[in-house]
Amino acid sequence: MQQEQIWDADAAQRYDTPGTGMFAPEVLGPTVDRLAELAGDGAALEFAIGTGRVAVPLVERGIPVTGIELSLPMVEQLRTKADEATIPVIVGDMATTRAPGAYTLVYLVYNTISNLLTQAEQVECFRNAARHLAPGGRFLIELWVPELRKLPPGQTATVWHSGPGSIGLDTYDVLRQHVVSHHFRFDETTRARLFRSPHRYIWPAELDLMAQLAGFELESRHADWTGAEFTAESRSHVSVYRIPPTR
């Protein structure tokens, strides 16, 4: 299934959950704080800007943000919050599409680099970020750590969420480094709703090598947006790569 088919009008309408989930203040607040700090006095470019979950509050903090987004329905949902003059968006894929202007920060949050389903595309995403940055510029990626240690021998699925009204599980193809994320939502009836999205998972060490190929150096890696230490038990990471100031 193509990404344009996954992120259709229905997905865009259901994406925003104000005040809860990834829109909860305790989730979004530290994200915006960190990005504003890294952008400094410059402008930011968001790959896969979506409905503006992060871009809108970042602009409200005074940081100019431009976006690249493949899904027209997601952009249309963003337009209910901010017009083109406030948050310009270029429609295209994050691996090849160029945005006008100069940026001190390019960022890619909430595991979205894994929507690129080949290693070659993921490397090109790093190279595209580098093309938008001057020496000293930074590329930030938020990404989950593959949970292969949870896979019992002979099984291919892990449950990553279980709660009232919803359950999430991932099915792994370890040969291709692919995973399909399944999101089930249900109520008191016998019916359930399923949303699925394919991903190519990336180990942190592989991500670092992709960065090197594009001319970046790893500046920092933390387990979350608040700066917690990244350990072998961390389920995700926020990694900041930098173009050397004197490349």
Structural domains of the chain ordered from first start? 3-146+203-242 (3.40.50.150), 148-198 (no CATH)
Per-residue burial over 12-50, b if 16 or more Cβ lie within 10 Å, else e, is beebbeeeeeebeeeebeebbebbbebbeebbbbbbbbb
How far apart CA 16 and CA 78 sit, in angstroms, is: 10
Question: Per mean pLDDT, which range of 36-40, 82-86, 102-106, 171-175 is the poorest?
Answer: 171-175
Over residues 61-78, mean pLDDT? 94
94: left (phi over 0), alpha (psi -120 to 50) or beta: alpha
User: 193, 142, 136, 201: which is closest to 172 by C-alpha?
Assistant: 201
Residue with the two structure tokens 């792994």: 172
What does the pLDDT look like over 161-187, one tens digit per residue? 898 888 999 999 999 999 999 988 888
